[in-house]
Structure 1
Amino acid sequence: MIPIDSSIVAGVALSEIDGVMKMLLMKRVKGGYWCHVGGSIEGEETAWQAIVREFYEETQINIVDLYNAQYLQQFFEANVNVLQIIPVFVVICPPNQAVVLNHEHTDYQWCTLEEAKALTPFPNQHRVFDHVWAYFVDKPIDPLFKVNIK
Structure 2
Amino acid sequence: MIKVNTTVVSGVALSQIDGEMKLLLMKRVKGGFWCHIAGSIEAGETGVDAIVREFAEETQIQVTHLYNAQFLEQFYVDSANLIELIPVFAVLCPANQNVTLNNEHTEYKWCSLQEALELAPFPNQHAVYKHIWHYFVEKPINELYRVNI
**TM-score interval w.r.t. the shorter chain?**
over 0.9
User: SS of the counterpart of 1:102?
Assistant: coil
Distance 1:105 1:45 in 2: 24
TM-score (norm 1): 0.99
The match for 2:56 is 56
Output the TM-score relative to the length of structure 2: 0.99
- Name structure 1 gaps, 5 residues minimum: none
Q: Give 1:91 deviation, angstroms.
A: 0.2
Match in the other structure for 1:4: 4
**CA shift for structure 1 position 75:** 1.7
CA distance in 1, matches of 2:117, 2:76: 19
Output aligned runs, 1:1-150, within 5 Å: 1-149=1-149
The CA RMSD measured in Å over matched residues stands at 0.4
Q: Report the number of matched residues.
A: 149
Q: Taking every aligned residue pair, what percent have the same amino acid on both sides?
A: 62
> SS where residue 135 of structure 1 aligns?
helix
Query: Equivalents in 1 of 2:122, 2:17: separation in Å?
Result: 25
Stretches of structure 2 lacking an aligned partner (at least 5 in a row): none
Could you report, residue by residue, the CA deviation over 1:28-71 in whole angstroms, capped at 9, with x for unpaired residues?
00000000000000001000110000000000000110000000
User: Aligned with 1:13: secondary structure?
Assistant: strand
The offset of 1:80, in angstroms, is 1.2
State the alpha-carbon separation in 2 of the partners of residues 62 and 18 from structure 1: 20
Give structure 1 regions of 4+ aligned residues with deviation exceeding 4 angstroms.
none
Matched letter for residue 6 of structure 2: S
